Amino acid sequence: MSGRLFVIGTGPGNPEQMTPEALAVVEAATDFFGYGPYLDRLQLRSDQLRHASDNREELDRAGAALSMAADGANVCIVSGGDPGVFAMAAAVCEAMENGPAAWRAVDLTVLPGVTAMLAVAARAGAPLGHDFCAISLSDNLKPWNVIENRLELAARAGFVIALYNPISRARPWQLGEAFKLLRHHLPATTPVIFGRAAGRVNEHIAVQPLSQADASIADMATCIIIGSAETRIVARPGKPDLVYTPRFMAGGKR
């Protein structure tokens, strides 16, 4: 008889932003698969086993977890943020589609979490108050020309854009190129929010106009939100500015 496989997210890193539903799964599961730093966020008992792996081993991790669940264990795969946003839920579905029939018989539950763009948006105000999209800048799994095309079309369509995986040692130039492209389609004053480690003790939130947006201040722990032409900044003396995108556009009905 097959066991169960849960795919959960730890949220952006603050333990208080992990959902009670996910915490209940952590209490009940016997084996935990995930990237080491994500597993480190959990308070596991001595009878619960960790199976840590590198961040680029998603399909191998999914297969190992599915095999164990197919053999009857209650298994938990751990992602940061929300497991369905550029994370492990898609890898599990891909492994189930292409793996043995026994994997498709596993009882699978994907639980929602708080993804990085929501945490960063909450710290800044309400930049996602109107239509928005999320784009990963990693060209490991898709060509760079596809990313450029999506950025251009999203900017032209008036979407606020959340950028995941903006920069790394192996990919140091993509974010700068993305800013350069977007400057051709958005006002120079468009707010760009750099949100690093939102909700954690080392949190850093910075807002720069697109014309001056500095890619070098970002890293892989940074989620970036680029406003639309509608996005506004509300200055508040003695307090951080608020960045928000109005719910209403010209020509809309109130």
> Within this chain, do residues 134 and 177 fall inside the same structural domain, yes or no?
yes
Q: Among 52, 87, 110, which residue terminates a domain?
A: 110
> Within this chain, do residues 219 and 153 fall inside the same structural domain, yes or no?
yes
> Within this chain, do residues 137 and 208 fall inside the same structural domain, yes or no?
yes
pTM: 0.94
> Within this chain, do residues 103 and 181 fall inside the same structural domain, yes or no?
no
Contact 123/198 with Cβ under 8 angstroms?
yes
Residue by residue, pLDDT tens for the chain (254 residues) are 678 999 999 999 889 999 999 999 999 999 999 999 999 999 999 999 999 998 889 999 999 999 999 999 999 999 999 999 999 999 999 999 999 999 999 999 999 999 999 999 999 999 999 999 999 999 998 999 999 999 999 999 999 999 999 998 889 999 999 999 999 999 999 999 999 989 888 999 999 999 999 999 999 899 999 999 999 999 999 999 999 999 987 766 76
The enclosing H or E element of 236 equals: strand 232-236
**72 in any annotated domain:** yes
Separation in Å, CA 89 to CA 32, 36, 138, 223, 228:
14, 17, 18, 20, 29
Count of domains observed in the chain = 2
What is the three-class DSSP state of 11?
strand
The CATH code of the domain that includes 100 is: 3.40.1010.10
Unique residue bearing structure tokens 């492990």: 88
**77 in any annotated domain:** yes
Question: At 26, which amino acid appears?
Answer: V
> Within this chain, do residues 93 and 171 fall inside the same structural domain, yes or no?
no
Q: Find the domain containing 178 and state its range.
A: 116-244
Residue 63 and residue 86: Cα distance in Å, rounded? 18
